[in-house]
Homo-oligomer: A and B are copies of this chain.
Amino acid sequence: MAERGTHQRPGRWRSGAESRQRILQAARELFGRHGYGGTTVRAIATAAGVDPAMVFYFFGTKQGLLGAAIEMSDNIPPAIESIFTGGLDTIGERIVRTLLENLEKSDRTPLVMLTRSAPTDAQSEALLREFIDREITERLAALLGTPDAALRAGMVNVQILGLAVARYIVRIEPIASSSVDELVARFGPLVQHCLTGRTEPP
């Protein structure tokens, strides 16, 4: 963690790790707010209070920084874990609530960073696709076990991406300003139906 105070003592271990952390923090903030293409290394350095050269010293390239920023936001995995803790019959509500509460906390979640970056950055697009495949589609499909499990999981992904984009990126009303509880009440059952609901006969 980032204590050791604000001591600036070159003699002591003025561990560059602190600068590294500040850079990562600023990067997550700006990548989350303006996307990869809309964020400059210089802006990140300024926000972190360090020199632009340090960014390259620590992370090599801008893409390297993005990669580190995503992996360092490691409070997401536990959140995802909690989704799968509990009965299948209430998983819809847990998915929506977990998603919204996490996005609410900050824009620094990998999901927002990548969703903002994917449209103009091919590598971000690939990272987001892999993230969703690995963390959501596969786990949901395994949980269901039905023949159409993958498609049902895909429908959930549509809800997740749609909510993230509508509420946090494009900010469409009234989705953007509804309360989390209101959205959970609306989308929880919807997601539940995607996973365990009956498909109408053609």
Q: What residues make up the interface of A, taking CB atoms closer than 8 Å to B? A: 34-38, 115-121, 125, 128-129, 132-133, 137, 150-151, 154-155, 157-163, 165-166, 169-175, 178, 182, 185-187, 189-190, 193-194, 199-200, 202
Contacts and interface: CB of A to CB of B under 8 A. Distances in A.
Contacts of A117: 119-120
B172 A166 contact: no
Nearest to A185: B202
Contacts of A189: 200
Given A37-B37, A120-B34, A120-B116, A172 B157 contact: yes
Contacts of A190: 155, 190, 193-194
Interface of A is mostly: helix
Contact of A38 (B121, B171, B172, B194): B121
B129 A170 contact: yes
B170 A37 contact: no
A132 B193 CA distance: 26
Nearest to A118: B170
Contacts of A165: 115, 161-162, 165
Contacts of A34: 120
A123 to B, nearest CB: 12
Given A125-B170, A154-B178, A185-B199, 17 more contacts: A119-B169, A128-B170, A129-B171, A132-B172, A154-B166, A154-B173, A154-B175, A155-B190, A157-B172, A161-B162, A161-B166, A161-B172, A162-B163, A162-B165, A190-B190, A190-B193, A193-B193
